[in-house]
Amino acid sequence: MVNLTIDDKQVTVPKDATIYDAAKAAGIRIPILCHDKKLHPFGGCRMCLVEVEQMKGRQIPACTTPVTEGMIVRTMTDEIIQARKMVLELLLLKHPIDCPVCDAAGDCDLQNLTYEYKVNGNRFQDEKFQHKIDYENPLIERDMNRCIHCGKCARICDEIVSFGAYTFINRGIEAKIGTEFDGPLNCEFCGSCVSVCPVGALISRPFKFKARWWALNKVKSVCSYCGTGCQLTLGVKDDKVLTTIYDENQGFHNGQLCTRGRFGYQFINSDKRLTTPLVRKNGSLQPATWDEALGLVAAKLAEEKNAGGKTVAGLATPRLTNEELFLFKKLFRDGLGSDNVDHSAGYAHAALTAGAAESFGGTASPATVADIQASNLLLVVKTDAYETHPVLGFEINLGVKRKDIDLRVLSDKRGKLSKLPKAVTYVHKPGQEVALVNALAQVILAENLQDATASGIDGFDALKQQLDAFAPEKVAAACGLDADTIKTLARDYAKAAKALIILPLGLGYPGHGKALAQALANLALLTGKVGKEGCGVLYLGEKNNSQGAADLGLFPTAGGADADAILAGCQNGSIKTLIVAGENPVVSYPDRKKIEAALDKVEFLVVQDLFLTETAAKAHVVLPVCSFAEKNGTYTSVGRAVQRVNQAIKPVGDARSDFAILNGLLAGLTGNAPYADTTAVFAEIAATVPAYAGLTMAGLGETGAILPATIKPRFVAVEAAAIPAESGKFALVTGSALYHCGTMSRFGEGPMYVCPEGYVELCRDDAQALNVKEGEAVVVKSAAGELKLKVKVGARMPQGVVFAPYHFGEASVNSIAVGAPVTWVSISK
């Protein structure tokens, strides 16, 4: 620790602190323009100039100067104020000062400092910049005339996002922030640059001219797309969510968001929202009153209850709040006497609900998000972890670049994570993950690299015996990696002091189920890398509340039918009534044909949704529900973080929350009084679900809580499913596109501007062999059907492997992929 004096105040700070950090710790504010707590110090703007007595009164930048023992710092002398005024004068010399039409006004550091330092004139004169404004993309507007060259956009894009869209180009007075060849911006559109821009040089186009910053009501909430659980601040005016506001103090991610979080909010106030209940009359859906619609549903459920609850089933989306999911389960269990309840567990989250449940004794990851940066080695299965959970991707980037963490990627294709320094990507043949992970475990045992605790864990001997069949030499050919490479990876993992395994889950990854989750669990347990900081297995649940759905048992827990069996039941008549809350099985579950047939056949289909989805269009009753911005509740995200969602706007149209609907139906069926509010339900969750014990809604506060994990380890020997190869065909793997999550992002303008439709991605050589170019349409044909998709050509895919994202309703990839990890397809023009 170092002691110093700032403005006559004694401060003690760690020796790697800067003067700026020390002042901040002492509650002394030093003005900044180019400094950001998330980025490396830059020292470009000279706003933070201070005087240090030992440096003979020289003015030095506080943000880049390390503290030394006994330093005496003054931050507000007359000379310093003069110097800062001049810095502002010089910045304003070129700045257009078009504040009346600038969206940053009110939230502009330059404007605020100009006001604070009373710079009401300028001693200098010069021409303004005449840079062309970049309107080429629909999300980020770049007006370099307003730029003050703080370089934050270029630095955040490099240091955190690792995309590197911007740099300083040219030199001297001509220098400006530009892109490659000074062309239009073409990037991931995560908007990190917009969030850190201290002026209005980078602004969000969807928000442009929508509202003045000070007129916005700011409501803190949690993003409702992927399972990362990013906190966000919604900018609300006149009961409309107009933007998301950057708050660098929010969440583990310090306010960082991805395209979905930052630009995908428009689904909330979309014109396509359902605003009134619909009831099927004479074959078509007609607007109806809530009394009529709920009356029909209640009557049908009463009938089902009397019939014993065997012929009713429910599918709920893990996008609902914990309270809603709890009521959904309770409606079936207590109200109807049925266990036929599922979210997309069987298809997407078996890794948690079955895999982790057996291997670790609970349906949660034995690791948290904080473990990513605390580790020494990350073993990421599929580079898609960046696509499915971009903000966790930023955490990985930061860990690898700042903390020198080793990154090993086990994937069927290369990706953005492969480009990080020190990243080693092991590109294996599609669908071979389990065999490979078993081979890693085999090497660890064969070379005696296991932890001393391993042999004491249940199932050790059986595992040891079973793994013999997976010696690297035996699986190498099938996996497409040579035995020595597999051995090196196994040794690296075993020898790392701390190592964390990351596995993305989701409807797009049918191979990432129970078996893979358990194979990875075995690996972690063998090497004793569980239950310690920086270790464990982090299963990345796909949706915002996937972890909550697993915690609350939104899957058959008493022998009921799972999603697959429910749909089969609809088809064969054993399920007569189906309630679908927010799920869109037609597009997102495997085998579209089968699902459509089943939903066409079921006697009574109730769909609760925001939109008239492909599934809702088949319903007998459609109930319009509220988005996350219209309700209170909690979500549980990756790494067991429970956080509060706060209502920002009134329900759109006549929509009611799933909570209100389920609460009413449950009370009607049981004869009990309905719950007073979400707090009451959360209290019951805390009382009945062990992991939530002791939590209260109020106690969660703004930061939320991390649920405890009790680990009861067990080795489960898993067999690798054979992947029969078909010669002359392409291996199609499905997954998530960077800009989308599930099927909801299709209603967000941002993601749809950037990625409006499905595509099939292939490598340059394959494209050349097929004689197709980027953007051309091809017919992709599997045993289940065929699809017309546009081609995307890139360096990511290995030869013979093609990728297609699953989010889209038209030409949905589930009409050719029916749930196998690899689908063999032929591609023709």
Applying CB under 8 A, the residues found at the interface with another protein are 137, 158, 163-171, 178-184, 186-189, 415-416, 419, 421, 737-739, 754-755, 759, 774-775, 792, 794-796
- How large is the greatest C-alpha to C-alpha distance in the chain, in angstroms? 90
Q: Closest CB to another protein among 130 and 249?
A: 130
Query: Which residues are CB-neighbours of 64 under 8 A, at least 6 positions away?
Result: 18, 41, 42, 43
Q: How far is the CB of 734 from another protein (least distance, A)?
A: 15
Is 454:528 a contact under the CB 8 Å cutoff? yes
Structural tokens at position 243: 């933007």
What does the alpha-carbon distance between residue 439 and residue 431 come to, in Å, rounded to a whole number? 14
Least CB distance from residue 815 to another protein, whole Å?
21
Cβ closest to another protein, residue 413 vs residue 620: 413
Place of tokens 């009164």: 57
Tokens, residue 550? 């697993």
- Please tell me the distance from the alpha carbon of residue 554 to that of residue 593, in angstroms, as a whole number: 25
Q: Are 642 and 635 in contact (CB under 8 A)?
A: yes
Closer CB to another protein, residue 163 or residue 635?
Answer: 163
Compute the least distance from the CB of residue 505 to another protein, in Å.
21
Q: Which amino acid is it at 759?
A: Y
Q: From the CB of 755, what's the least distance to another protein, in Å?
A: 4
Pairing of strands 176-178, 167-169: antiparallel
Phi-psi region of 653 (alpha: psi -120 to 50; beta: other; left: phi over 0): left
* Smaller CB separation from another protein, 37 or 764: 764
Structure token digits, residue 602: 């079921």
Least CB distance to another protein at residue 134 (A): 12
Residue 294 or residue 409: which is nearer to another protein going by CB?
409
Give whichever of 609 and 761 is closer to another protein, judged by the CB atom: 761
- We find the least distance from the C-beta atom of residue 796 to another protein, in angstroms, to be 8
Output the smallest distance, CB 457 to another protein, in A. Answer: 40
Q: What are phi and psi of 171, to 5 degrees?
A: -145, 155
SS (H, E, C) 593-630: HHHHHHHHHCCEEEEEECECCCCHHHCCEEEEECCHHH
Which residue type is seen at 702?
E
- Reference 426, options 485, 359, 491, 470; nearest CA is 485
CB 256, min distance to another protein, A: 18
Nearer to another protein, 496 or 737 (CB): 737
Cβ at position 758, least distance to another protein in Å: 10
> Hey, is 157 helix, strand or coil?
helix
Tokens, residue 532: 């310690």
Nearest Cα neighbor of 606 from 583, 581, 579, 585 is 579
CB of 183 to another protein, least distance (A): 6
Residue positions counted in the chain: 829
State which residue, 189 or 539, has the beta carbon closest to another protein. 189
Give burial (CB, 10 Å; 0-12/13-18/19+) of 740.
buried
Residue 693 vs 777, nearer CB to another protein: 777
C-beta of 261 vs 585, nearer to another protein: 261
The closest of 749, 762, 821, 759 to 796, measured between CA atoms, is 762
Nearer to another protein, 736 or 823 (CB): 736
Q: Decide whether 386 or 824 has the Cβ nearer to another protein.
A: 386
User: What letter would DSSP give residue 226?
Assistant: B
Residue 9: how many other CB atoms lie within 10 Å: 13
- Least separation in angstroms between residue 594's CB and another protein is 29
Alpha helices in 447-553 (DSSP H): 460-467, 472-479, 483-495, 514-526, 546-551
CB of 398 to another protein, least distance (A): 17
